[in-house]
Amino acid sequence: MMYPFSYHRARTLDEARAYFEGGEDAAYLSGGHSLLPTMKNRLAAPDRLVHLAAIPELRGITRAGDRLSIGAAETHAAVAASPEVRGAIPALAALAGSIGDPQVRHRGTIGGSLANNDPAADYPAAALALDAVIETSERAISADNFFQGMFTTALDEGEIITRVTFTVPDSAGYAKMRNPASRYALAASFVARRPGGVRLAITGAGNNGVFRWSEAEAALATRFERGALAGLALDPGDMMSDMHADARYRAHLCAVASAEAVGHQGKLTLL
Amino acid sequence: MSQSEIAITVNGTERRAEVEDRLLLVDFLREHLGLTGTHVGCDTSQCGACTVILDGQAVKSCTVLAVMAEGAEIRTIEGLAEGESLHPMQEAFCTHHALQCGFCTPGMIMAAVNLVDRHGPDVDAETVRHQLEGNLCRCTGYHNIVKAVLAAAGAQRTPAE
C-alpha cells in the first residue's frame, strides 16, 4: 500500500495551478511511470497529485514548416506511431518507440520525461540536439537553458510544460547502448544535421545529466562522416560510473554511439 | 484519508466504488472486485504480471492509480473466455505449452492479445518478441510463448478464398 495522498484531476491549466498551490508539497502527475515507482520507493512523498492528462492544451501533434509541436501529455506510443513525427523526424519516432517496454510507452509522456530530466532518459538528448523549445504555462524555454543537471530543470515551482516544439533537421540519428535490465541508456547519442551546422547531445553517461559534445559538433560541421570523430574523446572525469559501466567505458560508448548515429541517419541504432 | 468516487467499466460491466486515492488499479481489481487473475509480481513496473488492457492499450496496473482509470474501460484475463470457451490466445498457450508455473501467464496473455490487436494477424516473431519485452517469465524461456502468440495470431487470418 502506498502512503496516503490526495488526487486531483485538472481540466484546465488554471485548475491545475490552483490544485498545486493548495497542497503543502504537491506534484504534477502525467503518465506516472517515473513518479509512482519513485513514490513506492519513498524517494518522493508529495501530499497531493495533480493529474494533467485531461487538459486539452497538452494534447496533439502538429507540424508547421520546420516546427514539429508535440503536446506534453502525448505518450511515447503516440509519438512513436505518429505519421507527423515519422515523416518529419524518423529518428525521434524511433527513439520514442525504444523507451521502456510497450506497457510503459502506453502511459509515459514526453512532458513527464522532460520535466523529470532523468540523466539516462532518451527525450532530453533529442530535445537538446533538435534545438527544441519547451513551452510552459508561463513562457518558452530553449532546450539549451532548460536542462540544468541531473533531475534539475529551469521549471519554477508549479510551472507546467504544455508543449515541446522541435526544429525539423535535414536528418537525424539516435544510437544507444541500453542497460539490459532497466532499458535506460548506459550511453546514447542524438546527432542532428541542420542548415546551420550539427548538434550532438549525449544522455545516460554524463555525471551532470544530458549535455552537448561541442568538440564533436565542430568536427562534424566540417565533415559529416563517422571518421570525423576519430581521435576525439570525452573526459572520463565527466562521466557517471556505476556497477553497470565505469566512467572510461561510458566515455568510450559515447564516441561509438555518436559515430553510429552519424553513420545511420534517419533511424535508431541499438548497440 | 482522501477518497474519490470512481466508475470504471471492467470486462463490460460498470463498477462504481468509493476508493482511497492511493489505491492502485491492480488492488482495485483484486481486492475490491475479487478479480485475482491479474497478478502482482514485482510491484515495480518491471515484470508485467499485472498487465491489463485499458482503453485498448496494455498497461501495468501496478503503476496506475485506480482514480486515474476513472471513466476507462478495462479488460482483464477474466474477460477473455466466453463461458466455457477459452479465448484463442488462451487455447494457444495450452496447446503450445507456453506456461509452466503460470504466474506470468495472465499478464503475458493480456499483452499478447493487445499486441495482436495492434499489429494484426500477420505479426512476425521478431515483433512478438519485442512487444513482449515488458513481460518476464522465469520458467519457459519465452520460445513457446512466442510460438503460441504466432499461432493465435495466425488463427485470426481470414482463410484464402
Which CATH number characterizes residue B144's domain?
Answer: 1.10.150.120
Order of strands across the sheet with A140-142? A61-64, A67-71, A161-167, A133-136, A140-142
Q: What is the CATH number of the domain that holds A151?
A: 3.30.465.10
Q: Tell me: the pLDDT tens digits for A115-151?
A: 999 999 999 999 999 999 999 999 999 999 999 999 9
Residues B20 and B49 in one domain: yes
Contacts of B1 in chain A (CB under 8 A): 4
Residues B13 and B68 in one domain: yes
Instruction: Supply the pLDDT for residue A181.
Output: 80
Residues B119 and B92 in one domain: yes
What range does the domain containing B65 cover? 3-79
A37/B22 CB distance under 8 A: no
Q: Tell me: the pLDDT tens digits for A239-262?
A: 999 999 999 999 999 999 999 999
Instruction: Supply the pLDDT for residue A180.
Output: 82
The DSSP secondary-structure symbol of B7 reads: E
- Arithmetic mean of pLDDT over chain A: 96
Residues A260 and A218 in one domain: yes
Taking each helix axis from N to C end, the angle separating B105-119 and B143-155, rounded to the nearest 10 degrees, works out to 40
Number of compact structural domains in chain B = 2
Least CB–CB distance from A103: residue in B1, B43, B59: B59
Min Cα–Cα distance to chain B from A258, Å: 24
Which residues 47-86 on chain A approach chain B with CB closer than 8 angstroms? Answer: 49, 51, 53, 77
Q: What is the CATH number of the domain that holds A22?
A: 3.30.43.10
Instruction: Supply the pLDDT for residue B15.
Output: 98
Residues B39 and B75 in one domain: yes
Contacts of B44 in chain A (CB under 8 A): 37, 40
Q: Is residue B161 part of a domain?
A: no
Single residue among A138, A167, A196 that ends a domain in this structure? A167
Least CB–CB distance from A37: residue in B48, B63, B68: B63
A101/B133 CB distance under 8 A: yes
What range does the domain containing A12 cover? 6-51
Residues A159 and A76 in one domain: yes
Instruction: Supply the pLDDT for residue B158.
Output: 64
Q: Is residue A20 part of a domain?
A: yes
Q: What is the CATH number of the domain that holds B65?
A: 3.10.20.30
B45/A1 CB distance under 8 A: no
Single residue among A136, A151, A167 that ends a domain in this structure? A167
Single residue among B50, B79, B108 that ends a domain in this structure? B79
pLDDT tens by residue, chain B, 161 residues: 799 999 999 999 999 999 999 999 999 999 999 999 999 999 889 999 999 999 999 999 999 999 999 999 999 999 999 999 999 999 999 999 999 999 999 999 999 999 999 999 999 999 999 999 999 999 877 999 999 999 999 887 765 54
A164: which residues sit within 8 A by CB, 6+ positions away? A69, A70, A72, A110, A111, A114, A127, A132, A133, A134, A135
